[in-house]
Chain A
Amino acid sequence: MRATVTKRAFLPLAAAAMATVLAGCGSQIADPASAGSTTGSATSCVNTSGSSVKVGFINSLSGTMAISESTVFDSLSLAAEEINASGGVLGKQLEVISEDGASEPTKFAERAGKLIQQDCTAAVFGGWTSSSRKAMLPVFEANDALLFYPVQYEGLESSKNIFYTGATTNQQIIPALDYLAEQGTKSLFLVGSDYVFPRTANKIIQAYAAAKGIKVLGEEYAPLGSTEFSTIVNKVRDSKADAVFNTLNGDSNVAFFRQYKSVGLTADSMPVVSVSIAEEEVPGVGLDNVQGQLTAWDYYQTLDTPANKKFVAAFKAKFGAGRVTSDPMEAAYTSLYLWKAMVEKAASFDVDKVQAAADGVSFEAPEGLVTVNGGNNHITKTPRIGKINADGLIDTVWSSPAAVEPDPFLATYDWAKDLAK
């Protein structure tokens, strides 16, 4: 019968194929201590001999995060255009290679690998969600390449291959708590999306509250993308907390704020502090629903600095007068200029030399002067509490007196000792 004939044909084939595979084995880890550093060292293929140098932008241009991340892509493009117009970096024009992360961590890892290994970019800029950063981190470490990550995040991380130009927790969440404490807040209700940033943020808030005598009356999570908040909103109302700390992300905010308003809660009766709503998100959530509510960021479009006026004007000129600028966009814009400053200080595009030169590099950013901390690869930032105004922009109601040093592991806070072991 046919079946038996072909079976005979396949088995030796399979065996031969297996043998081929096993013959091709590479090194095994014999001595774990040396394995990480010596074997498989990545050799950079960055070509700086021509009149241009390649840089990579990796943002989700499709999928659920596209609406947020495409704004970061726009401001990165603006920065690249400005830098090229003013003579480039070390005399070389930037050639931008853009990749779509498609809102999937796996895609981010794959595309980051392409930007490094195939396109040979000198540095990569982008990423938004924590999962996209966590997915890319091993890729950048294994290839010894550079990523500039422009979004506020949950801290507890530091890699020599990533520069974090968004706020870490002590530049956003802790100042927001300080502000609330200053305003006499005695009790809090925590609402967040169910993923790593809100969970870590709330861990920090719980520790802070315990140390400062603030009562946390509830901690509720909704799945990412959830739009059903009546249960949570009723719990919030019944708790009679002084304020709500909101770490919801994306579409969930629309439903949350709408239902919040519908049960009669207002910015005056129970203010909500949000850490994921910026100028870009306000129209989506609905100005009616969020006007007067508080936000915690390090940059607002309304900031009155010369660098910001120039940034906002240039952005509107390029993308249209109706567009707004937000904190992650500013941090992305800043990140490209910081890389330029690092490269110029190092007088080289080499990753090692750029890393060595990074400490102390500063830039007069739209948010104010920022300086790179070479110890943890984060930057100094000025925390600001804002209130959403009638135009949908955000006015600063409180600002840190000086730029705050980044402390991703909260090592300088006694009450946070147990958080990062």
Chain B
Amino acid sequence: MKTLLRGRWGTAAGFLLGAALLLGVAPAVLPAFNLGLLGKFLCFAIVAVGIGLAWGRGGMLTLGQGVFFGLGAYIMAMHMKLADASLFGGSGVPDFMSLYGSGQVPGWWEPFRSPAVTLLAVVLVPGLVALVLGLAIFKRRVKGAYFAILSQALAAAFAVFLIGQQATTGGSNGLNGFRSFFGFDLKDPNNKVMLYMIAAVVLLLSLALARQLMHSRFGELLVAVRDQEERVRFLGYDPATVKTVIYVVAAVLAGVAGALFVPLVGIISPADVGVIPSIAFLIGVAIGGRATLLGPVLGAVGVAAAQSSLSSTFPSFWVYFQGLLFVLVIGFMPGGLASLPALVRLRRRTPAGAPQPKAATAPAPDQSPPAPEALSPETPKPGVQDRAAAPEEVSR
């Protein structure tokens, strides 16, 4: 499979293989419940693709993706609540509003009655929020740990806000009990398969988008900003714009993932959008290999699947295991598991005095991370052309 992924057509072949696995094999093999679970993991994987771009490629430690995930999810949930209310209730008022609220639909809910507005908003609202935030943060040259803390605080504030609005957002209960999805009956097993398929296709599309971005001029610039922001500025580019663009892309991906999560899982609550889930998004990415194309996806799915299967057997053990894995990966393998083959190869070749593995034409997964010194200003370095995406410090 690794050799298959090499070369430009190899990439397309690998992509086809992934599509066949996700769209053909998985629905045929997995029982309904597991397919639903996989669908949920794919949503996390979509978020991970965005984090891979923003963090792995752009060097922005986005600790608050839960906000954008939540925006997309709540927008979709509000639409589904309203649609259900008019389909089944007749009154057009979602059930929990008459129970805890005034029995009136608040004005800011109304636009989401329209399916078109909802679909647009799922993309535009997280995107616009990220745009405003990104410009405000990056233009002021806030970066590193400050950016991380800021984004995390945002996630915390968002969750607290949602909990406080019992009457209009369902408070800590969140929104759930959906019965239809754009007119499709959610009880129908075929429709559940359809939802899974949509998630799989969106994941494949976002991977394609990420790959294009990584291999474009913009992608080069992004890595350059990550590694030497000042130099990029001296070259006449505005790093703030570059960072904002990728931050927006990551936010939109998270928003879309949230919108898919709601019909697949059937519930969204503040516990899914706060600090802890925001960090959880990150762990899979780090473990898988944040600077690579497939690393974040495989990491996110792998960690979520492991959590799902291990946490019921060893409920309290899982958290420690996850923490340990995180520490080990960050400490000893900053490139994540995706860098493992390259590390092994490097170790095997170096003593023999063999030349370093040449910059592969393949996408990132198996590229060798150059030693950190290679990136230091003293050594002449390939600079922007070097797309071997070795992430440097953890917090950047």
User: B-contacting residues of A (Cβ < 8 Å)?
Assistant: 2-3, 5-7, 9-10, 13-14, 17-18, 20-21, 24-29, 32, 35-36, 39-42, 61-62, 66, 98-100, 102-106, 109-111, 113-114, 117-118, 129-131, 134-135, 137-139, 142, 156, 194-196, 199-200, 223-224, 420-421
Contact = CB atoms under 8 A, between A and B. Distances in A.
| Interface SS of A by simple majority | helix
Interface in B126-180: 160, 163-164, 166, 171-174, 176-180
Contact of B194 (A10, A26, A102): A26
A35 B191 CA distance: 14
Contacts of A421: 98, 103
Contacts of B19: 13, 17
Given A27-B184, A62-B311, A195-B172, A18 B271 contact: no
Contacts of B312: 98-100, 111
B204 A17 contact: yes
A134 B173 contact: yes
A24 B197 contact: yes
A196 B315 contact: no
A27 B191 contact: yes
B176 A138 contact: yes
A118 B36 CA distance: 12
A28 B184 CA distance: 4
B326 interface: no
B7 to A, nearest CB: 10
Contacts, number: 197
Contact of A40 (B176, B188, B201, B266): B188
Contact of B197 (A9, A21, A196): A21
Contacts of B198: 21
30 contacts: A2-B8, A2-B361, A6-B215, A13-B208, A17-B200, A17-B204, A20-B197, A20-B201, A21-B198, A24-B197, A26-B185, A26-B191, A29-B184, A39-B187, A62-B311, A66-B315, A66-B316, A102-B311, A105-B271, A106-B265, A109-B265, A109-B267, A117-B31, A131-B173, A131-B271, A138-B176, A194-B163, A194-B164, A199-B100, A199-B171
| Interface SS of B by simple majority | helix
| Interface size, B (range) | 35 or more
A6 to B, nearest CB: 6
Contacts of A35: 87-88, 179-180, 185
Nearest to B83: A29
A234 to B, nearest CB: 22
A27 B177 contact: no
Given A3-B212, A118-B33, A131 B187 contact: no
Nearest to A421: B98
Interface of B: 8-9, 11-12, 15-16, 19, 23, 31-34, 36-37, 40, 87-88, 98-100, 103, 160, 163-164, 166, 171-174, 176-180, 183-194, 197-198, 200-201, 204-205, 208, 211-212, 215-216, 265-269, 271-272, 308, 311-312, 315-316, 318-319, 361
B163 A195 contact: yes
Contacts of A25: 184, 190-191, 194
B23 A20 contact: yes
A194 B172 CA distance: 9
Given A14-B205, A106-B269, A196 B183 contact: no
A20 B87 CA distance: 28
A26 B12 contact: no
Contacts of A142: 186-187
Nearest to A116: B33
Given A14-B201, A117-B32, A39 B163 contact: no
